[in-house]
Amino acid sequence: MRDHDLPAPQRRGRGKSRFDDDETPFLTYGRQPARTAPDDEPDPADHWSSWGEAVHGPEPHPPWLVTELAARDTDLGVLKTGKEADVHLVRRAVPDTDRSCLLAVKRYRDAQHRLFHRDAGYLEGRRVRRSRENRAMAGRTAFGRQLIAGQWAAAEFSALSRLWEIGGGSGRIAVPYPVQLLGTELMLEFVGDPDEQTAAPRLAQVRPDPAQLRSLWAQLVDALVVLARAGYAHGDLSPYNLLVRAGQLVVIDLPQVVDVVANPQGPEFLARDVRVVAAWFTARGLPAVDTDPAELTAMLLREAGVR
């Protein structure tokens, strides 16, 4: 089977999916309430912090994170453009203090303005209970498109939150801290150089020496084991959605994360993830015996409890 011929994900009727958005606050929308008198509004490039209206990431919150409602968010420009979302660099700072942090803000496009790979297939099993929302999503109304975009953001937020909590204990997987979720906007830890305001390079941009290559492969295998034990396959893993920060591999871009156990095609998606990244490492000099995709896939499926 060719990779692009993989069937779209399906769900077995085995209870509530870990990606089920039923009755969650993830898909809330609305304007932010005014907080100050008109003569005290932020500059046009700034906005009040949306922390008070958003769903927050796991606790305890990292010490670097600014959570004060008096903070202002300043958009510093686009970090990355993509088919599904654009990522902006935002500085959240409390005026007249030294409290500030850099955030990567991922803004998902609605279904009319994006080209997500096999959109309908990946959304299978993520339906909400309310018939009005289901009809709107099926009919791709303006409201339905917004709901679909919100589901992608919610799925990524949920997966990152769980992996952050797991990684904090195991140290075997690194993901950006999921700061908050508000509608179709996901705020994440900025992975890069805060002084230079430059994002960490993607694995595809790195030219590691043999020792570094072996270290990055070992980190990747550890990360894949953690994902498998949590029941996940990345679903779109490649050297372009792995970052390298000071020698540490960081897994990003998880909106299409696949439930390996509940999804009938989960093993195929996991196998494809492994083939893609193994081919990159082999092409850069890692012995093929160390990157055997079939052997690694079989081990990961055992870790996930798939027989």
Q: How far is CA 287 from CA 112, 225, 278, 280, 305, in A?
A: 44, 20, 10, 11, 28
Closest CA to 54 of 28, 74, 72: 28
Which residues 6+ apart lie within 8 Å of 83 measured at CB? 114, 115, 116, 117
Q: Which of 20, 236, 259, 273 is catalytic?
A: 236
The encoded tokens of residue 11 equal: 């769900």
Phi then psi dihedrals of residue 169, to 5 deg: -90, -35
Q: Please name every residue paired with 265 in a beta bridge, in sequence order, or none if there are none.
A: none
User: Which is the catalytic residue, given 253, 273, 290, 292?
Assistant: 253
Single-letter code of the amino acid located at 18:
R
Beta carbons within 10 angstroms of residue 39's beta carbon: 5
Tokens of 249: 């591999």
| CB-CB contact of 258 with 233 (8 Å) | yes
253 is catalytic: yes
Largest CA distance in the chain: 67
Intra-chain end-to-end CA distance of the chain, in Å: 20
Whether 193 is catalytic is no
Among all residues, which ones are annotated catalytic? 236, 253
